[in-house]
A and B are shown apart, each in its own frame.
Chain A
Amino acid sequence: MRKLTKRSLISISVATVLSLGLSACMEDASPKVTNTAKDNSGLKRAIDGGVTYDVINGKFGVYAVNEKAHNGKIKFGRTPTKEEYDEWSSDVHFTGEGLPEGQGTAEEGSEIYDAKCVMCHGDFGSGGGGYPALSKGNAYEMQKSLTNQRLKPDDDGPVRFFGSYWPKASTLWWYIKDAMPHPQTDSLSDDEVYALVAYTLNINEMEIDGQEVDDEYVLNRENFLKIQMPNKDGFEPQIEGPDAEKHIRAYYANPKNFGGQTYNVKNPASRCMTNCQEPTVKVAYIQNGGISDFHPPLTDVRDLPKEKKDLKNFNAQKAYNESCAMCHETGAAPAPGDKAAWSGLLEKGIDKVYEAGIKGTEAGMPAKGGASMSDSEFKMVVDYIVNQSK
């Protein structure tokens, strides 16, 4: 988020559509790819620990490439207006960039919460209805649970909620502002967001600058930026600062960091083919039936779907025109309104007419007139014809 008001002169000029005169000095600012390191297989290493490929002689692997299409000067679109630019630049950075002025208390937040949030997030952020909890108690205590591992049935797991887990408070402010309340997003004022953030800090029993965020605590931009999340140092790799890409690359270059297993690409035959497992392994089966709440239920059967009972949207007149009129309007078959013909056909009752039409007749009528209606739909078309012939 970089509101134009805070940006450089050049950007402001661009926003006022002075791009023509400036374009010459912008060419040298083209981005450059820094990943040129190649591994022993000759492939370029990517930032994610994997490999990446170049276009070589007009080919990207098996894909042919028109290199001219990617080297030409092609530009469409226009410069945004300042209003457009600011309207969509709503992101809030951990540095405070994008965070507007405003204020609210936990008490005010509690009222908004009860009106707009509690139905999903539960009393005091306890969760429910499938939506996430916002607190499970004191954030500083809960943060200590993050080393928990449920290795055995009675083990407690880690508690991962806003207070105990999230590294930045800016995430909460931005997310509430842009994406909450869930059914009606982007509807809260900045002051309301400050109040809801204060309430969330309150139910997580958090402090700012050594002071408890109690009901009366007035949260504003200045003290918001002093929030230190209990788990701010809980994440790896390091992703801040100008060397972030270097840190990330180094992290994923070491499979031990993320549990990757490697083999020798140049000598794949050396990979393990026998006794590749710990002798301690046992077969683990699904316990207590596992998860089987599947919708629709699992099956590989090929059959016809159940007919939908809702025939309200079936248009018998339209179906008649599409599938029946070509014979019934041309004299090849009795026309609707031909009372003599239809009274004869109806002598044995309407069900016989239905039956004959569904099966097709010796007189040459194909089954259901050759249409792919259901029986119920076909009967509605017969009714449509017969009702005009009484």
Chain B
Amino acid sequence: MTYIMKITNNLIKEKIVNIKKSQQDLDSFDTKNSKVDRRDFFAKTAALGVTALAGTSLLASEEGERSILKPTKWGTTWGDPVTKNLYGMPSKYEHNVTRRYTKLLASGNYRASITVTPIQESKGIITPNGLFFSRSHGGVAHIDPNEHRLMLTGLIKKPLVLTMKELMRYPSVTRTHFIECPANGGQEWRGPQYNSLQFAKGFMSCAEWTGVYVKDIIKDLGIDPKAIWMLAEGGDSSKMGRSIPMEKVLDDAMIVWGQNGEALRPEQGYPIRLLVPGWEGNLCVKWLRRLDFSTDPWYCKEETSKYTVLKPTGKAIQHFYANEVNSTVVSPSPEIDWSDLKDGDTVEIEGLAWSGMGTITGVDLSFDGGKNYVEASLKGLVLPKCWTRWSYVHTYKKGQELFLTSRAMDDAGFIQPTIDQEELVVGVEAVYHRNAVETWKVEKDGKVTHVQFRSQLGRKANGELVIEGKA
């Protein structure tokens, strides 16, 4: 036995002891378990030597992993009866894939607050209903669909009351759209704050929605041509309302009751919410109970006190509707990094891109924080106002520092700005609508941290923002 093989076998034995311990842990539901790290196991053995036996490449050892060599509990005993969990749940092992919250974004007792989506764990372009980000202004209402009504009022010749059953008899439309809180990334105008993809970009989710176009309901009700605004108002305790221009209402606004093939979850406004594709999530009023039509906007609390973008001029942008073109690297992330990769591994860098102004046309990737870019590939479905997956295949060099920055563009002609470009116009007090490029630093050990590439801004006598030290 060569020295290397000895070490290999010793490592395997040591590992098996660990794995056996883990297996025992797994056998008992009462015990907190350690992680069975198979990746780690193979990394060490593979690095130490591979032997060719009878033309087949195998590791030189008579031992191996317990879960392969020994019968497993799940491979030798009954599983659950099919009658268990008639509404299915994720594997218990997935319990850490969950929405999360921070006290810093909570009003008092979590009734006017937000929980955010673990997009570092997201697959494809659909967010499962239990992980869809949840924002409410008066808590999550639980509405009896039998008693709930939608009423249409205001400058309309034929006001209307609909039961949910009646509403759902209108011809339905199914569309896949993201919903994004415009405060996504809003804590990081003055520098990075979250070493987390979930918190840096998880104020958004994407789902397949089923409902009815508002225009299909109102077309025969005699809307007064002077009514150029619609109020959408919720039936929860906060009576959340927003004014929406009729032009958007008549384009693609929907009242939705279906989300990824089932009823909306209570957190998403069960039984019905408004969906205003591409626009601020706040406009997609949950627990919808009334549409009102008028000549002027309503100046609702959430369209004046909040959801406005204060610029260095002292003027604030109001009615800033669309979530602009945006993107992020999803893999790697601070949560799921590259510390397990070996030198020379070929790995896919993956991400999401989205635009509330149209359809994603391309994504570029930078390895130096946004100075120079290469073109990434889009993959999967590319739909309007929808999450779009992108991909770039990379050969990893252990010990190399990288600054991964993605930059998306859309068919409306917009491309993500640099932080400097965006802040020179809207400053650092905007809170909402931050869509500048974002950077993950891959450290020498493969760990990932959130950084930003930005210049120091200063002000001219007239208040205008300038880059300090710019020639």
Task: Kindly list chain A residues whose C-beta atoms are within 8 Å of the C-beta of B153.
Answer: 2, 80, 85, 88-89
B433:A1 contact, CB within 8 angstroms:
no
> Does B138 touch A at the CB level, under 8 Å?
yes
> Contact: B157 with A302, CB < 8 Å?
no
Q: Out of B194, B290, B317, B355, which one reaches A291, CB within 8 Å?
A: B194
Report whether over half of chain B's contact residues are helix, strand or loop; otherwise say mixed: loop
Whether B316 lies near A235 (C-beta < 8 A) is yes
Which residues of A sit under 8 angstroms from B174, Cβ to Cβ?
Answer: 63
Q: Are B245 and A245 closer than 8 Å at their CB atoms? A: yes
Are B369 and A277 neighbours in the complex by a CB distance under 8 Å? Answer: yes
The answer for the CA separation of A8 and B221 in the assembled complex, in Å, is 15
Q: Is B184 an interface residue (CB 8 A)?
A: no
| Cβ–Cβ < 8 Å partners of A234 in chain B | 314-316
Distance of B81 from chain A, by nearest CB (Å): 8
What is the CA–CA distance of A34 and B225 in the complex, to the nearest angstrom?
11
Task: Tell me if A375 and B28 are in contact (CB < 8 A).
Answer: yes
Cα A120 to Cα B226 with chains together (Å): 41
Which stretch, A100-108, A154-162, A199-207, A338-346, touches the partner chain B? Answer: A154-162
Q: Which of B84, B220, B238, B450 contacts A372 (CB 8 A)?
A: B84
**B383–A284 CB distance below 8 A:** no
Q: Which B residues between 128 and 186 are near A, CB-CB below 8 angstroms?
A: 137-138, 151, 153-155, 157-163, 166-167, 169-171, 174-175
- A19 and B101 alpha carbons, distance in the complex (Å): 50
Q: Report the nearest B residue to A44, measured CB to CB.
A: B251
Chain B hits for A350, CB < 8 A: none
Could you tell me if A259 and B426 are in contact, using CB atoms closer than 8 angstroms?
A: yes
Does A115 interact with chain B (Cβ within 8 Å)? no
Q: How far is the CA of A264 from the CA of B366 in the complex (A)?
A: 20
CB-based contact B157/A22 at 8 Å: yes
Q: State whether A185 touches B238 (Cβ < 8 A).
A: yes
Tell me if A14 is interfacial: C-beta within 8 Å of chain B.
yes
Give Cα distance in the complex from A146 to B313, angstroms: 8
Of A90, A151, A271, A295, which is within 8 A of B415 by CB?
A271
Taking CB atoms, residues of chain B closer than 8 Å to A349 are none
**Contact size range, B:** 35 or more
Cβ of A291 and Cβ of B102 under 8 Å apart?
yes
Q: Are B322 and A171 in contact (CB under 8 A)?
A: no
> Does A348 count as interface, using CB distance less than 8 angstroms?
no
Q: Does the CB pair A258–B320 fall under 8 Å?
A: yes
Of A211-219, A303-311, A380-388, the one touching chain B:
A303-311
A96 to chain B, nearest CB (A): 12
Contacts of B317 in A (CB 8 A): 235-237, 257-258
Establish whether residues A286 and B313, one from each chain, have CB atoms under 8 Å apart when the complex forms: no
Those of B177-226 within 8 Å (CB) of chain A: 187, 190-196, 198-199, 213, 215-216, 218-226
Interface positions of A (Cβ within 8 A of B): 1-2, 10-11, 14-15, 19, 22-23, 26-27, 29-35, 39, 41, 43, 46-53, 61-63, 66, 69-70, 72-80, 84-85, 88-91, 93-95, 120, 129-132, 146-151, 157-158, 160, 162, 165-168, 170-171, 174-175, 178-179, 182, 185-186, 234-237, 239-242, 244-245, 248, 252, 255-265, 268, 271-278, 280-287, 290-296, 298-307, 322, 360, 366-367, 370, 372, 374-376
Given pairs A41-B413, A236-B318, 14 additional interface contacts (CB within 8 A):
A2-B294, A77-B163, A80-B153, A88-B151, A91-B292, A166-B305, A178-B239, A179-B239, A245-B246, A245-B247, A273-B364, A283-B403, A283-B441, A286-B449
A–B complex contacts, Cβ < 8 Å, 12 sampled = A50-B355, A74-B171, A76-B170, A88-B289, A179-B138, A186-B237, A245-B247, A265-B361, A273-B373, A283-B451, A285-B449, A305-B92
